[in-house]
Structure 1
Amino acid sequence: MRDVCWRCRRPHPVCYCALLPSLPTRTRVVLLQHPRERRVGIGTALMTHLALPNSELHEGVVFEDDARIAALASDPTTAVLFPGGDAPAAGGAPVRSLIVVDGTWWQARKMLALNPRLASARRIGVTPRAPGNYRIRKEPRPECLATVEAVASALGALEGEPARFDEMLRAFTFMVDRQIEHQARSKAPRRRRAQAASPLAPLRPYLAEPARVVLVDGGASSGWPAGAGAAEPTSELVHLVACRASGERFEAFLRPRRPLGPSVAHQLEVPEAHLRGGEDAGAALSRFRAFVGDGGVLGTWGSFTGDLLAQEGFGRPPSLDLRDLCARHLRRRPGGIANGARALLAAEPVARGSGRAGRTVGWLEVVLARLLDLAGEDDVAARGAA
């Protein structure tokens, strides 16, 4: 077992405590650290906290019920440090408390999405005076600095003393240099622990192009042949709703070709007149084929809608079963789509069309967004471990 410094949690040969300043500040710095970041040895939230006596470090993902964070977020003198915000000196109330979301870009963005109070608070951002020094970890955008770099830059601007807060970076530079030296000294080929493939690997091709996925749900009519004797019900597609991440939407009511079941409209939560007055099935499916396009991939919850489309002669284009991906990630059956979305900590949906199908497509939209974020986090973690 390695001998580890109790304060910085680093092995003693690479302990940086001797290089840490203790810098009093007028601004209260409140660090919100994603739980996964606590396990990253080269993270800098703790380093920042140790250098600033007037700071707090909280770990978690959702802080909506945290009274302390809620009070801070509603205070007009609080700002959230996040890429793309206003410059620290851009006017407005003086910043007395600075909330800093610590995590990868994917984690930080999702933490804001899950915390509406934080998301609605004033934001400030910093423009790096020089490229970030995080040479052992790749950032997705030039303005995405290590937490300690971003805080030092923001405090320098807020308190008018950039050089004083540059002292925080000595420990950071030491940590980065020691890590690079350690990698260079290793003569033997690096041994990598075999890692199981990510359960969300099928989503990787869509991380950069989420709009290729067409989220779709269909409603069916269980019709009965005419005549009192009858028989087995036969299903046909009568309602189809779809949308893309780009915001494009599709909806069609398909005129029934068989007698309409007595409770179909009620079950699908749409007016019966819309079903009876729908367009020709062939025309509707032709429009949907054009909406999907050549490179489109269907995103569904289970196989029901894909089976309905195939039964109508639409064929079976490439598809993603989001229910299956959700189950793989959760390592259990997710149940209905609303339960699955909430288990993933997805955002609340907005209906994307009429009735049950429109509501389901709204749920599909937030599930896909959450799964893509998780797949992106897995990719970042895999590159960091390589």
Structure 2
Amino acid sequence: MRDVCWRCRRPRPVCYCALLPSLPTRTRVVLLQHPRERRVGIGTARMTHLSLPNSELHEGVIFEEDARIIALASDPTTAVLFPGGDADPAGGPPVRSLIVVDGTWWQARKMLALNPRLASVRRIGVTPRAPGNYRIRKEPRPECLATVEAVASALATLEDEPARFDAMLRAFEFMVDRQIAYQATSGAPRRRRRAQAASPLSPLRPYLAAPSRVVLVDGGANSGWPAEAGAAEAGAAEAGAAGPRSELVHLVACRPSGERFEAFLRPRRPLGPSVAHQLEVPAHRLLDGEEAGAALARFRAFVGHDSVLGAWGSFTVDLLAQEGPWRPPSLDLRYLCARHLRRRPGGIASGAQALLAGDPAPRGSGRAGRTLGWLEVVLARLLDLAAEEEVAARGAA
């Protein structure tokens, strides 16, 4: 299993974090990323988000009922960055929020078609000062730049600073150059590389002999604050000091050996009105929880130095990453399940049923504890399947 940087989500040898700037902006950049684009290792939406403190990154296809997007779409100072014949590079109110649709040309058009509210927002386009440098992906039209190139060009125009945002492109150029160099020097035939990658559960093989190294984890977040808290956060965003929109408040973990961990982290912001209901835990357990630093120190001690986190998707892992620089490696069991099934597994319960996994038992409080139980049976089943794969591969050799 490759060692991956949790910040940029690239393998350590091609991590570009050292080249990322931190550029404050007057314009709030809101990136809407198609879920398929998130799995593209050479995508640039996350690179863009990490370069701009005054930015947000949301994943999805349909945002018609998303409260944040509804508010932005109703604001006359919002614009959508999108190439097209009706794109308006100037005119109208000043742009204070810029929505950027991240995906292939086909995905971006489909997202606009599925989101009439978003499609009705004023559009602006950019005229490239030079041809795009996305030499590792094919773009259908000259004005279809990489997301980071398009945002840098748009901000240069909107904030009237043509050179300042060129710093966003250093990490992009490094990624492109390294990818091209790798393709040129890789000696393995392409057919052989595909065959090696065809084993869907190979990331689990290091843990077949020591499954207790996998720490299963799930968590719950505090989000959806009352109106006055949301207004305060919006003011902080305009001042260039916006923080994450969710914070970790419930954390459960266990090992296949039976060791368990649970912590309630006292909210650092007002508790959202429906958070306790959604997490299926009493509100007082959250409000009377541990100080976040103490709870996370206990969790780090529980995980230890030679473990990997196993989670369903990236939500809990991302919440943990927001809390500090400690970043152990992780396994996305939803991704491994999808690779094995060769289709999307849906929720964890349907994924477990498709794998013919066993019956779960709750391993903690509330929804997270129930999810942890499902994770336990999913991991056990995936490890069994990985062992069968390995035996089959040895027999074929």
TM-score normalized with structure 2 length: 0.48
TM-score normalized with structure 1 length: 0.50
